[in-house]
Amino acid sequence: MNEFDSDALKQLLRSEALKFGDFTLASGKKASYYLDCRNLTLHPKAANLIAAGMLQQMDANGPLPDAVGGMAIGADPITAAIITVAGRRDLPLRGFMVRKEPKGHGTGRQVEGPVQPGQRVVIVEDVITSGGSALKAVDAAQAFGLEVIGVLAIIDRLAGGQQAFADRGLKLQTLYTVRDFGIEPQ
C-alpha cells in the first residue's frame, strides 16, 4: 500500500479514533470529542496510510527532509511508519525521537537517532490542539542543531496550533482538520 488513500484513512479515523462524550484534553480544556490517534498510528492499515499521506505532503513541498521525528511516545509510531514506507521506496529518510528530558546516562541526549546538527527535519505529530507538544519537539531539535523546516500532523483540532507555529516561523500541515469530519472547532 504505497499510495495515499485519503478516504480510507478518513474512514479509519472515524471508526477507530474519533470518540464523542465529555473529555479533558492535555491542555486542560474540556471537549465534546476526543481523537485517540494511537488507535490509528498503531493500526497496520492506518499506519501505512498515514505514512503514505505524510510522505506525499513532504514530497509536494520540495525536496524531502533528511529526517522526521517528534516527541516520544506519541510521534514514535508515526516516525517508524514513515521511515519504513520510505525505506520500501528506497528514500534516504531517517527518523529521530525527542525525549521529554535529556537522558541521565549514556550520551545524555534529548534527541536520539541517526541525525546530525545542520540536517533539515520535519516534526511529526498525531493531533494538534495548541501545538504545545510539537513545539517542545521543535525546541529540542533546534537546540540539538537541527533545522526544523515544518510540522506535519494527522489532524488539526483548529484550536490555535497553526498560529502558534506561524508565530515561530513554521508552517503546519495536516492530513485533515476537524472540519473534514463535520466538527466545528471548540
Question: Could you tell me the CATH number of the domain that includes residue 48?
Answer: 3.40.50.2020
Please state which of the ranges 4-8, 29-33, 70-74, 149-153 shows the lowest mean pLDDT: 29-33
pLDDT of 177 higher than 70: yes
Q: Tell whether 186 is covered by a domain.
A: no
| Count of positions (residues) in the chain | 186
Give the total number of structural domains in the chain: 1
Q: What are the binding residues for 5-phospho-alpha-D-ribose 1-diphosphate?
A: 99-100, 103, 105, 125-133
pLDDT computed for residue 1 by the predictor: 36
- Estimate to the nearest angstrom the gap between the alpha carbon of 55 and the chain centroid: 12
Stretch 139-166: mean pLDDT: 96
pLDDT computed for residue 182 by the predictor: 94
What is this structure's pTM?
0.94
Report residue 123's pLDDT band, with 50, 70 and 90 as the boundaries.
Answer: very high
* Backbone phi, psi, residue 111, to 5°: -100, 120
Q: What are the binding residues for orotate?
A: 129, 157
Q: What are the binding residues?
A: 99-100, 103, 105, 125-133, 157
Host domain of residue 51? 6-180
Q: 138, 158, 36, 44: which is closest to 96 by C-alpha?
A: 138
Per-residue pLDDT tens for 21-38?
A: 999 987 788 899 999 999
Q: Tell whether 185 is covered by a domain.
A: no
